Amino acid sequence: MSTVLVTGGNGYIGSHTVIALHESGYEVVIADNLSNSKLEVQRRLEKITGKSFKFYNVDCCDKEALRQVFEENKIDSVIHFAGLKAVGESVRIPLDYYRNNIMSAITVAELMKEYGVGKLVFSSSATVYGMSEDVPFTEESPLGVCTNPYGWTKWMIEQILRDFASANPEIKVCLLRYFNPVGAHESGLIGEDPRGIPNNLFPYISKVAGGTLECLTVFGDDYNTPDGTCLRDYIHVCDLADGHVKAIEYLAKTEENVCVFNLGTGKGTSVKEAIAAFEKACGHEIKHVFGARRPGDIPVCYASTEKAERELGFKARFGIDEMCSSCWKWQTMNPDGLAD
Ligand code: NAD
Ligand code: UDP
């Protein structure tokens, strides 16, 4: 049985991907330092799958600690999720972001080379397309100028991994550019569990719907879009998880050294539409006010999904209604998130 090392596998996207891999017959080993997730996720994964996954509490920047994972397991491929991801925080503490995200990627790559592991999937982001308004973004769209250190770490790691794969023909790298992952597992047992007041739209709406937060501020309703609010390509986290299984399968058969895929739905949803869809899912009004634009926001961002459909065989199954209803189930079952 093929074994996948999932770094950051205790986090939001990682945990959903662990389930998708398990359901597709892969053996999974998880490495996570719990800097942005709770160990309770492992118990929840066990409840969902009936399997207790091998879990290492290690920092992926710590080469000797991570080496133990490669020593003790016959790893065939790696999905590297481990990283810090809060845009605003990255502006405040840029060096922490550069150190953690870049060092962990380099350390994983070095150990892969050392242990002869040839397949790497990396969590990149649509943020690498920068401020361009030329939508939809295709994988050939030029990389842009990022507006924050978090975005730059993705941009830089993409380049580092391209160089790594070019220099090492035995290594194959798949860069996955996620659009806006939202929603939760159908069980309601795992989902997005941000610390403190959320920055992103869906976690914020969920908390307002659940009564923990009073009111959502919509950042700008004077954009040049159909209803004046920004459009994003929201993708159900379980679809995104399936995209990773497809990427692992693709790496097993491709001749290419480096491949890049967008993971989105190809459809833009406005903030107003997202609120309306969530109101339908939870059955009551979401209190909101209209405020100023948020610096750095682009008006419209959605993916071209053609390449992923054609080459990966990936097509998102879920729409905005399923994203909202799964989010709402997770919120109602875990109003205060997971316990430490
Ligand atoms: P998350 O914070 O829920 O998960 C990341 C996990 O990595 C956490 O469990 C954290 O404890 C762990 N981690 C962080 N640094 C580590 C280190 N040095 N060593 C070991 N573990 C470490 O985030 P997520 O939303 O699941 O995102 C996963 C990946 O996808 C990240 O790389 C993120 O940048 C990327 N991504 C996320 C989004 C999004 O909107 N959620 C969009 C695009 C890209
Ligand atoms: N947004 C909002 N209020 C919030 C959080 C987000 O109006 O409290 C808007 C934000 O301006 C953007 C959209 O919702 O237009 C998605 O924001 P998010 O931070 O979730 O994703 P990103 O902007 O990083 O794609």
Asked whether 217 lines ligand 2 (CB < 6 A), one says yes
- Tell how strand 77-80 and strand 3-7 pair up: parallel
**pLDDT at residue 1, as a whole number:** 81
Q: Which of 223, 278, 297 to mutate to test the pocket of ligand 2 (most atoms within 8 A of CB)?
A: 297
Q: Are 140 and 236 in contact (CB under 8 A)?
A: no
User: Going by CA atoms, what residue is nearest to atom 6 of ligand 2?
Assistant: 201
Residues 6+ apart with CB under 8 A from 117: 5, 70, 75, 76, 77, 78, 111
Distance of CA 107 to the CA centre of its chain: 20
pLDDT per position as a tens digit, 184-205: 999 999 999 999 999 999 999 9
Question: Does residue 40 have its Cβ closer than 6 Å to ligand 2?
Answer: no
| Residues with active-site annotation | 150
**Mutation test of ligand 1: which of 12, 108, 234 has the most ligand atoms closer than 8 Å to its C-beta?**
12
| pTM, to two decimals | 0.99
Each residue's pLDDT, cut to its tens digit, for the chain (340 residues) gives 899 999 999 999 999 999 999 999 999 999 999 999 999 999 999 999 999 999 999 999 999 999 999 999 999 999 999 999 999 999 999 999 999 999 999 999 999 999 999 999 999 999 999 999 999 999 999 999 999 999 999 999 999 999 999 999 999 999 999 999 999 999 999 999 999 999 999 999 999 999 999 999 999 999 999 999 999 999 999 999 999 999 999 999 999 999 999 999 999 999 999 999 999 999 999 999 999 999 999 999 999 999 999 999 999 999 999 999 999 999 999 999 999 8
Which residues sit with their C-beta closer than 6 Å to ligand 1? Answer: 7-8, 10-14, 32-37, 59-61, 81-85, 100, 104, 123, 125, 178, 181
